[in-house]
Chain A
Amino acid sequence: MKHPLRWSAVGVGVVVVLFLSVLSTQVGSEPTYSGGPIVDRNAPAFDLPVLDGNGVHVALRSLAGKSVIVNFWNSWCIPCQEETPALKEFWNRHAKDPDFALVGIVRDDTTSEVRAYVKKHDVGYTVALDPKGEAALAYATTGQPETYAISPAGVVTGKQLSRVSVDNLEALLGSARAG
């Protein structure tokens, strides 16, 4: 090699430019998140106290054999408030189906606020509290609302990480029944 220092400088320059190019596409942007790789896996177990249930718990294992929709929500999140009518309508459609369950798991809220919200909006489906955030962690949630469909065999068959419509909920239930 005739000019090692020159070639070395060129090499370093190329690598530095490459490095800065990579950084420029990454810096300043939060990574986007589309949820953990939970679909097609066994649904994480949960065993949570039911709101005003006098010690009654709802556990996923007790819902085995049913198609389950799990909705993470709280009273102060606007999209959660916006989807409440859809969840109520969906619940009213399927409430008498013995092979179906809808569980609203509270994420990051106080019991008193949740109680007031449930009473005001006449929420009829099961609302469970998750004061330590364990279920939210197990389902890899990053916010609310998030909705998951679980098949009778206990496998997660679908999810939606935003406000749901009745059609969305029907599609999720369809995936659970097909799963």
Chain B
Amino acid sequence: MRMRRTAQWIALALVVVGALFVATRGDGGPRSIDERVREIASGLRCVDCQSQSVASSSTTSARAFRADIRRRVEAGQSDGRIRRAFVDTYGEFILLRPSGSGLGLIVWGLPVLVLVLGAGGLILALRRWRREPRLIATDADEQLVADERGTGR
């Protein structure tokens, strides 16, 4: 019984991990230079427009950004290195998506914490409910129900 339950949990974990892997993997295959430029540009703030990314703006500065990203991609730099180069020049301001530190850590971390706390509480509650014995009706209980239904024994 215990082995079977463990196997069920392992199977569930495998399904979850597999689903996460498929969801985060994208469509697979190597990305083209254009795709990489677009992806990096979409995460950078257009510096002279409001709340737009470098990818979606047509200002001179956005075009300069895209040209610089393309030059770096063609030079063989990784996506992370290119983003770091812009952060080094402009500071964290340039990132549209929060990074994994400072305020970004809170923005990314708190939802995960909520999920962990919720799941933890649920698991504890389920285990607790499972340990509690099922109530068995006594003869007196049976009699009470029978009396109410008019089928007294």
Whether A22 and B48, one on each chain, are in contact in the complex, defined by CB atoms closer than 8 angstroms, is no
For B64, give its contact among A11, A37, A134 (CB under 8 Å). A134
Determine the chain A residues whose CB is within 8 A of the CB of B63 once the complex forms: 132-133
- In Å, the complex CA distance between A137 and B117 comes to 45
Across the interface, name the chain B residue whose C-beta is closest to A133.
Answer: B64
- Restricting to A11-29, which residues have a CB under 8 Å from any CB of B? 11-12, 15-16, 18-19, 22-23, 26
- Given the interface pairs A16-B114, A37-B91, A140-B90, the reply to whether A5 lies near B64 with Cβ below 8 Å is no
- Given the interface pairs A133-B64, A142-B47, A142-B48, the reply to whether A22 lies near B128 with Cβ below 8 Å is no
- Given the interface pairs A1-B124, A8-B121, A19-B110, the reply to whether A137 lies near B61 with Cβ below 8 Å is yes
Answer yes or no: A97 CB below 8 A from chain B CBs: no
Whether A11 and B117, one on each chain, are in contact in the complex, defined by CB atoms closer than 8 angstroms, is yes
For B106, give its contact among A22, A30, A143 (CB under 8 Å). A22
- In Å, the complex CA distance between A12 and B114 comes to 5
Determine the chain A residues whose CB is within 8 A of the CB of B61 once the complex forms: 108, 133, 136-137, 141-142
- Given the interface pairs A22-B103, A136-B64, A140-B89, the reply to whether A5 lies near B121 with Cβ below 8 Å is yes
Whether A22 and B47, one on each chain, are in contact in the complex, defined by CB atoms closer than 8 angstroms, is no
Answer yes or no: A7 CB below 8 A from chain B CBs: yes
Whether B121 and A33, one on each chain, are in contact in the complex, defined by CB atoms closer than 8 angstroms, is no
Answer yes or no: A178 CB below 8 A from chain B CBs: no
Whether A8 and B103, one on each chain, are in contact in the complex, defined by CB atoms closer than 8 angstroms, is no
- Restricting to B50-72, which residues have a CB under 8 Å from any CB of A? 50-51, 59-61, 63-65, 67-68
Determine the chain B residues whose CB is within 8 A of the CB of A4 once the complex forms: 121, 124-125, 128
Answer yes or no: B107 CB below 8 A from chain A CBs: yes
Determine the chain A residues whose CB is within 8 A of the CB of B111 once the complex forms: 19
- In Å, the complex CA distance between A107 and B103 comes to 33
- In Å, the complex CA distance between A132 and B59 comes to 11
Across the interface, name the chain B residue whose C-beta is closest to A74.
Answer: B60
Across the interface, name the chain B residue whose C-beta is closest to A32.
Answer: B93
Of the listed residues A4, A19, A37, A134, the one surrounded by the most CB atoms of chain B closer than 10 A to its CB is A4
Whether A15 and B110, one on each chain, are in contact in the complex, defined by CB atoms closer than 8 angstroms, is yes
Answer yes or no: B16 CB below 8 A from chain A CBs: no
Minimum C-beta distance from A100 to chain B (A): 27
For B68, give its contact among A7, A33, A137, A142 (CB under 8 Å). A137
Residue numbers of B with Cβ under 8 A of A are: 47-48, 50-51, 59-61, 63-65, 67-68, 88-91, 93, 103, 106-107, 110-111, 113-114, 117-118, 120-122, 124-125, 128
10 A-B residue pairs with Cβ-Cβ distance under 8 Å, sorted by A, are A5-B122, A7-B121, A19-B106, A33-B93, A37-B91, A107-B60, A136-B60, A136-B64, A137-B61, A138-B89
